[in-house]
């Protein structure tokens, strides 16, 4: 796995350079004193601090996909309500026989992890339970490495079989769920390395995630460019886990569906990973497919998760 890039703070040389420039802009702004002065109004402006964060992300990103964004008014279906963490964990424990002990213990240790989500996220974004690579190692024996690319693909097919038992489901990439066509991104594998350090080899992990609302209308390539430092893309397996515990997330055509930028997809299995997987609802069924990383679709948004700021 890759080594996590060190996050730059305002105390680092690059951060000190940026804050020095900020001080110059601030000093030349002509702000005034007093309880109702412009300096105080700036401090209290939620819009300013929100837009400043957005501006930092945009200006620090590359511009390869800067124009691959469309306006989107889509949102999650009204039926979707995020279940309590213990309920989600218990679903995997009851149906698959996975030991929930470590996941319950971790849930007790943390406060509501949705606090680490950006304010722009949807109110139903927050904590989600997923089966960890070590959980799939138990469910699909024979793999010494929990992060074996072949095990990852078999894990997704395992989940598809479970989902099919409860609802109408169609896989547009039938026969292509293998390591030549589907791989996890380095950034997501790196994040899973960190999660392993924090949550250990528990068969069930708790992640803090948003299910597409933060990046709606952005192509997958642009969403990846705009990721926060502690943000990483959800892959097909994590998305399928959430689809299993929250079937109400996918119930109608007129909803915001999920791109899954934690994976890359090669249509021809030749190393050209020009697409990323997606989950959506169409024709009265949940569907798995792949969209081009450059396609900006109003009905889709990239799902992602956030590492705790340690």
Segment 238-248 shows an average pLDDT of 98
Whether residue 207 is predicted with pLDDT greater than 70 in this model: the reply is: yes
Q: Other C-beta atoms within 10 Å of 184: how many?
A: 22
122 three-state secondary structure:
coil
pTM: 0.81
Q: Tens digit of pLDDT for each residue in 81-140?
A: 999 999 999 999 999 999 999 999 999 888 655 568 999 999 999 999 999 999 999 999
Tokens of residue 162, six digits: 């479970």
Following CA atoms 302, 307, 309, 310 in sequence, which dihedral angle do they give, to the nearest 10 degrees? -170
Whether residue 3 is predicted with pLDDT greater than 50 in this model: the reply is: no
Most confident of 2-11, 19-28, 245-254: 245-254
| More confident call, 112 vs 197 | 197
DSSP states of 146-195 as a string? TT-HHHHHHHHHHHHHHHHTTS-EEETTTT--STTTEEE-HHHHHHHHHH
Whether residue 67 is predicted with pLDDT greater than 80 in this model: the reply is: no
| More confident call, 27 vs 88 | 88
Segment 166-195 shows an average pLDDT of 97
Percent of the chain with pLDDT over 90: 73
d(CA 131, CA 159): 10
Contacts of 55 (CB under 8 A, 6+ apart): none
Q: Name the β-bridge partners of 182.
A: 265
**Contact at 8 Å (CB) between 275 and 307?**
no
Segment 229-254 shows an average pLDDT of 97
| More confident call, 243 vs 13 | 243
pLDDT of 111 reads 65
User: Given the structure tokens 């989950």, which residue do they identify?
Assistant: 279
Percent of the chain with pLDDT over 70: 91
Strand positions, DSSP E, the chain = 126-131, 169-171, 182-184, 204-210, 231-233, 257-259, 263-265, 275-282, 285-292, 300-302, 304-306
Which of 12-16, 82-86, 91-95, 233-237 comes out lowest in average pLDDT? 12-16
Segment 282-309 shows an average pLDDT of 95
Q: Other C-beta atoms within 10 Å of 119: how many?
A: 9
Which 8-state DSSP code applies to residue 44? T
d(CA 286, CA 239): 12
Q: What is the rounded average pLDDT for all residues in the chain? A: 90
Contacts of 3 (CB under 8 A, 6+ apart): 190
Among 213, 52, 49, smallest CA distance to 120 is for 213
d(CA 186, CA 68): 23
d(CA 173, CA 152): 15
pLDDT of 45 reads 78
d(CA 309, CA 294): 30
């Amino acid at each position: 796995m890759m080594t996590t890039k060190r996050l730059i703070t305002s105390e680092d040389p690059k951060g000190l350079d940026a804050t020095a420039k900020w001080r110059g802009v601030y000093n030349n702004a002509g702000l005034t004193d007093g309880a109702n002065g412009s300096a105080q109004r700036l401090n209290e402006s939620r819009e300013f601090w929100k837009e400043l964060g957005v501006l930092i992300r945009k200006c620090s990103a590359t511009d390869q996909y800067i124009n691959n964004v469309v306006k989107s008014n889509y949102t999650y279906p009204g039926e979707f309500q995020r279940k309590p963490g213990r309920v989600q964990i218990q679903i995997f424990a009851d149906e698959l026989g996975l030991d929930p002990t470590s996941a319950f213990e971790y849930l007790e240790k943390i406060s509501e992890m949705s606090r680490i989500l950006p304010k722009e996220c949807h109110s139903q974004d927050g904590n989600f339970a997923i089966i960890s690579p070590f959980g799939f190692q138990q469910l699909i024996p024979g793999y010494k490495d929990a992060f074996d690319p072949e095990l990852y693909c078999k894990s997704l097919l395992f989940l598809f079989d479970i989902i099919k038992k409860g609802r109408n489901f169609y896989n547009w990439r039938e026969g292509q769920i293998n390591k030549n066509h589907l791989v996890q991104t380095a950034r997501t594998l790196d994040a899973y390395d960190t999660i392993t350090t924090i949550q250990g080899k528990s068969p069930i992990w708790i992640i803090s995630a948003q299910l597409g609302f933060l990046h709606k209308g952005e192509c997958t390539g642009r969403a990846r460019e705009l990721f926060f430092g502690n943000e990483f893309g959800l892959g097909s397996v994590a998305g399928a886990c959430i689809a299993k515990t929250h079937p109400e997330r996918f119930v109608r055509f007129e909803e915001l569906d999920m791109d899954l930028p934690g994976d890359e997809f090669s249509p021809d299995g030749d190393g050209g990973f020009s697409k990323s997987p997606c989950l959506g609802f169409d024709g009265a069924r949940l569907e798995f497919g792949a969209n081009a990383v450059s396609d900006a679709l109003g009905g889709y948004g990239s799902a992602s998760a956030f590492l705790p700021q340690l």
